Structure 1
Amino acid sequence: MNPRGLQIDLQNAQLLDPAALEQLVNLGVGLVQAWQA
Structure 2
Amino acid sequence: MKLDDIQSSIPIYLSAIKAVSQIGDYSKAQSIAKQIPDS
TM-score normalised according to structure 1 size:
0.46
Q: Which has the higher helix share?
A: 1
